[in-house]
Every structure is written in C-alpha cells, then in structure tokens.
C-alpha cells in the first residue's frame, strides 16, 4: 500500500470518531502545554540571569577585590576570602601590566543621603571611570554619562532610585504609599550629604531639622550639603526592575576630589586607617574590573591576580553555578509537565486499542485482499502519530498564549519579583522539540495496539471474533 493511501485511511479513521479523537488530542494538548510552559519559566529565569551577566561586564571581565574599602552593593562571585592587600593606584598599575589585560576600571562604592524638600533617601553611590561606567552598559533614556574630573558632582540616576526616598515625619516611601515622590530627577537640584555619621548625629542632638531647604538648622559642626544635578537617567519606569536601577552613578575622580576636600585630615567613610588610627595614606577602591582580551585567557588572568594577593572572580563562575541550579529547576518543572503527557499517552493507547476492537472486520478484509502486515502496522502508528502531532501543535500554540499571559502578569507585578524582562521564554528549538516529543509519545503509545492489529487472524477478524 502506498504511503499516501496509508495517510488518507489514517486521517479518515481519525475523523470517523470525532469526539473520541478530540478528547484524546486534548490530553496531548494539555500535556504538551504543561511541559513547554513549565520549561519556559526556567528558561526565562536563565535568560534574565544571562542579561544581568551581560550588564555586569560579560564573560571576559574579571572582578578584583582586596581588603574591605568602601561599601559593597555589587555581588562579586566567590568572595568568601578577603584579599590580602588594599586596592590602590599602585595596584591598578600592576593589574594593567598583567598579560592579556586590556583595560582596568577601578570602582568605589559609598552611601550618600540625597535630600529634596521633605524627601530624603539613603542612596548607594557607584563611582568609576568613564570606561568602567560604559562597561556596565548603562542604557540612558535621557542625558549622558558624567563628565570626567569635574569639581562638582553630576549623577546618572537609576530608574528605580526614587523608591529609596521616604518622607520625613512619616518615614513612608513609594512601597508604603504607592505614590511616587514629588521629585523630578532629570531637572531638580538635589542636596547630597556624604558625611552621613555627622548628619545622623546632628539629628539625634537637634531632634528636628527645620523646614526650609536652605536654612534648616545646619551649622558648621553639621554635615555639608552638596547641590547635585542629573547628567542622565537610566531607561525604564520606576517599577521596571534592572540590575543597575537602584544606584546613583558618578565620575570617580570627581567624587575623590569632593571626599578629600570635605574630609581633609580625617578618615573618609569606608576608607581604612592605620594601627594608630590615622587615615590610610592611599585612596583604596572597593573593587576593580579587568577586561581580558579573550575568554580563553580569563582563567590565566584570575590566577595571576590571586598570586598578587587579591581575590578574583568571574561572571563565568557565577554563570556556571547558576546554570546548575537552573538545570535542576527546569528538570523539576519539565517532570511535572511530563506527568500530564504520560497520562495523555495512556489515553492514546486506549483510543487505539478501542479502534482495533471496532475495526476487526476491516482489518480482516484488508489482510484477505493482500494488504501486508507492515502496512497495517504503519496505518495504526500513523494514526497515533497524527494524534501526537495535532496535540503537540495545538499545545505549543496554547503555550505561547499562556507565556504571554504570564509575562503580562509579571510586568504588572513590577520590581517586587526581582526579575528583569520576561519570566517565560519559549525559544524555537523548544517548540520543535515539544512537537517531536509529542509525536514520539503518540507512536510509542500506538505500538502495542498496532502490533495487536497486525497479529489478528484474517478469518477470525472477518467473522468478528
């Protein structure tokens, strides 16, 4: 029997029992949609993690840390062991001299208090060179990166930075009230306090701060306020989570000038001090990012950095660790969906077995007319594969609908989920794999019924026994 004849007979037989075929296909649809949707959640989380890795320098960057200096807001991978030495300008020169290193960007992290009217926020500040800020891939919707070496401080503000502000008196912010602070980061001049210890001490002593921005009771003993403006704003709304969204970014040299001027003869916040309690002679950075010429040379650079007495970590290490966790998550989610498809396979086997009993005479006639056993076997396998194919196709379409709904709900959920972009991601290979898998399930489920139909005795089948 020709393949086209087998295909035509198989389709006709499936259409003959429309309701039973529909219910069997529906089982495959549910199973396929469950597997694809479950796995898509794991892939979405993995894609989000890859985007964060790319935003923090990609796979050719090495994060270097030494003894604690400044404050730390950024995760640097495996930093359980503190480096033996501080990161200073002399260190940067040694790092630049390492083979395969094509760029070094120091970074200093500190917390400042930003004030505007009746609002104030405890904001993490990240200062780096222009190359360091560019390496973070800050996507600006307005403005540009701060100019280098200025005597004043200009900032690039993160899109979610306003969530760190709260109203004095009520101590309530955006997440408590649902109201965005009345601050235009792009246009308003904010006041920055770097000496936070003195500021909080003055609050404890005075008990109140006054009402005006210019004359709010500050005296010479109180912390100095610096008027600062925005040089740019990061892309995104206040509820759009991003790895860079909660920080204020500025030029490192400009921040160093301001810090050294304000804390002349005193220890700069976060900077180390000598055993006698005096400020450390060199400015110490929180970390440094090395750019390596090729991904194959990253491990060699890491080893060289550790030989110098500093801790080094890579995004590759972080990526490998997270991929192992996501593989487990995907396996668990896929296994949950596979249960539904297993139940659908039982339904296919039941449907095909019922078809054998109902078509015994038809099978007998086909054998008497000379139809080969292989053709009869293939006919039932084609029917089972057809159920798997149509169920898989419709299941994939349903998966895209569910994925879109999940991403829409996640987007409305905002930053509370802590995930950027879509949390459900369906790549083309997953669709093809799901459809192929559903067809294989259909074929496997149809093997036993097809074998039974092939073994029927022609005379017994004709008599209906």
Residue 22's pLDDT is 85
Secondary structure of residue 132 in the 3-state scheme: helix
User: 24-39: string of b/e by CB count within 10 Å (b at 16+)?
Assistant: bbebbbbbbbbbbbbb
pLDDT of residue 220: 44
Alpha helices in 285-372 (DSSP H): 298-307, 315-358, 360-368
- Mean pLDDT, rounded, for 422-447: 85
Choice among 104-108, 159-163, 276-280 with the minimum mean pLDDT: 276-280
- CB 157, CB 248: distance < 8 Å: yes
CA distance 36 to 425: 10
How many other CB atoms are there within 10 angstroms of residue 464's CB atom? 8
Q: Assess whether pLDDT exceeds 80 at residue 233.
A: yes
Report the pLDDT value the prediction gives residue 216, as an integer from 0 to 100. 46
Condensed to tens digits (0 to 9), the pLDDT of residues 300-340 reads: 888 999 998 898 887 776 667 777 777 787 778 777 777 87
Radius of gyration, CA atoms only, the chain: 33
* pLDDT tens digits, one per residue of 234-261: 998 888 877 788 899 999 999 999 998 8
* The predicted structure's pLDDT at residue 218: 42
Q: CA–CA separation, 170 vs 311, rounded Å?
A: 43
d(CA 45, CA 195): 39
Among 15-29, 145-159, 333-347, which stretch is predicted with the lowest mean pLDDT? 333-347
Dist CA 172 CA 136 (whole Å): 31
End-to-end Cα spacing for the chain: 26
More confident residue, 17 or 116: 116
Q: Are 136 and 57 in contact (CB under 8 A)?
A: yes
Kindly report the pTM of this predicted structure.
0.63
Per-residue model confidence as pLDDT tens digits over 179-221:
899 999 999 999 999 988 888 877 766 554 444 444 444 444 5
């Amino acid at each position: 029997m020709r393949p086209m004849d087998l295909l035509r007979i198989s389709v006709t037989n499936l259409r003959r029992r429309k309701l039973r075929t529909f219910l069997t296909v529906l089982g495959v649809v549910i199973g396929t949609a469950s597997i694809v949707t479950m796995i898509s959640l794991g892939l979405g989380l993995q894609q989000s993690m890859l985007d964060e890795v790319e935003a923090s320098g990609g796979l050719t960057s090495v994060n270097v840390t030494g003894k604690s200096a400044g404050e730390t807001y950024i995760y640097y991978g495996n930093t359980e062991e503190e480096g033996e030495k501080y990161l200073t300008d002399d260190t940067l020169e040694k790092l630049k001299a390492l083979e395969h290193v094509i760029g070094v960007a120091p970074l200093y992290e500190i917390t400042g208090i930003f004030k505007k009217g009746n609002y104030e926020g405890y904001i993490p500040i990240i200062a780096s060179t222009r190359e360091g800020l560019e390496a973070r891939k800050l996507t600006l919707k307005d403005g540009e990166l701060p100019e280098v070496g200025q005597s004043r401080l200009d900032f690039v503000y993160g899109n979610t930075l306003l969530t760190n502000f709260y109203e004095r008196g009520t101590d309530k912010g955006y997440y408590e009230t649902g109201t965005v602070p009345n601050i235009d980061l792009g246009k308003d001049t904010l006041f920055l306090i770097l000496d936070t210890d003195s500021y909080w001490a003055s609050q404890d002593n005075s008990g109140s701060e006054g009402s005006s921005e210019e004359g709010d009771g500050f005296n010479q003993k109180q912390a100095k306020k610096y008027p600062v403006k925005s040089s740019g704003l990061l892309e995104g709304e206040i509820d759009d989570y991003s790895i860079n969204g909660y920080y204020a970014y500025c030029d490192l040299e400009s921040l160093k000038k301001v810090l050294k001027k304000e804390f002349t003869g005193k220890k700069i916040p976060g900077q180390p001090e000598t055993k006698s309690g005096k400020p450390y002679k060199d400015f110490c950075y929180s970390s440094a990012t090395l750019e390596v010429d090729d991904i194959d040379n990253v491990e060699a650079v890491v080893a060289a950095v550790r030989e110098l007495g500093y801790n080094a970590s890579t995004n590759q290490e972080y990526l490998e660790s997270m991929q192992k966790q996501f593989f487990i998550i995907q396996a668990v989610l896929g296994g949950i969906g596979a249960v539904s498809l297993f139940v659908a396979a039982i339904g296919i086997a039941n449907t095909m077995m019922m078809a054998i009993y109902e078509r015994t005479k038809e099978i007998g006639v086909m054998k008497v007319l000379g139809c080969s056993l292989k053709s009869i076997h293939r006919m039932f396998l084609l029917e089972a594969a057809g159920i798997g194919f149509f169920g898989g196709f419709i299941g994939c379409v349903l998966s895209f609908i569910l994925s879109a709904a999940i991403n829409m709900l996640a987007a409305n959920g905002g930053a509370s989920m802590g995930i950027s972009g879509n949390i459900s991601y369906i790549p083309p290979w997953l669709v093809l794999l799901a459809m192929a898998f559903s067809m294989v399930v259909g074929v496997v489920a149809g093997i036993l019924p097809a074998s039974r139909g092939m073994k029927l005795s022609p005379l017994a089948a004709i008599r209906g026994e």
